[in-house]
Amino acid sequence: MKRQIIIPSLIACTILFLIEQYLHVPFIVKSMIKLPTFAILPLWYIKAIKKETIKRALNLQHFKLSEVKLGLLLSAILVILIPLVYFTVATPYIDTAKLISELSLIGVTKTNFLFVSLYIAIVNSFLEEFFFRGFVFLNLYETHARFSMVFSALLFATYHIGIFVSWFQISMLFLALFSLFIGGLIFNFLATKSKNFLNSWLVHFFADAVILVLGGLILHEII
């Protein structure tokens, strides 16, 4: 069972990493590839290996609002913390001209930035949490708790580095990798509290939303 999770997840992330780094296809094309890659594997595992319903496999059959209180609290903290870190620490290390150029190469412009942002914040964050927490982490956690914590967090971090490796100077890149790894560990911790990925998805959604607001301000040359 462990191998049936690790190998497919590594293959999926490697494929998407290579597409991101070497093909430079438009954002919509990458999204069309990512959607089935991150959705079909978990669904196959649920149906073919675990032989359960989706709700039961993801522990969503008896959802209560109280399960996501911790996620909402951390989301509120991030809404304040992310802009604070950006304006006090990160600004000198981000190559805004290169960032705008990279976005242009994949078809993200001022015109469609709002649509892209809504997709990333809502759909993409849900898809990633469904994959990294709902599929990889929680299934491995059942029998390999410590390994699942490190493996899924590291996979989550290295996958994202492929997206913005060219945005930062090298020193900031390592900081970003470390931050993503810690973020992955936090998301995993949240998933253990609710036994599903809804807590982590809430935090992921709000973190993405704040970052995208900052990205929009950069793109429109407001900051």
pLDDT tens digits, residue range 121-145?
Answer: 999 999 999 999 999 999 999 889 9
Question: Structure tokens of 126?
Answer: 């849900």
Residues 106 and 25: beta-carbon distance below 8 Å = yes
Q: What is the C-alpha to C-alpha distance for residues 121 and 186, in angstroms, rounded to an integer? A: 18
Query: pLDDT by residue (tens digit) across 20-69?
Result: 777 777 888 888 889 888 988 888 888 888 888 888 888 888 778 888 99
- pLDDT over 90 percentage in the chain: 41
Token pair belonging to 10:
């590594």
Q: In which residue are the tokens 């069972």 written?
A: 1
Q: What is the DSSP letter of 94?
A: B
> How many structural domains compose the chain?
1
**What pTM does this model have?**
0.87
Domain that holds residue 166: 2-219
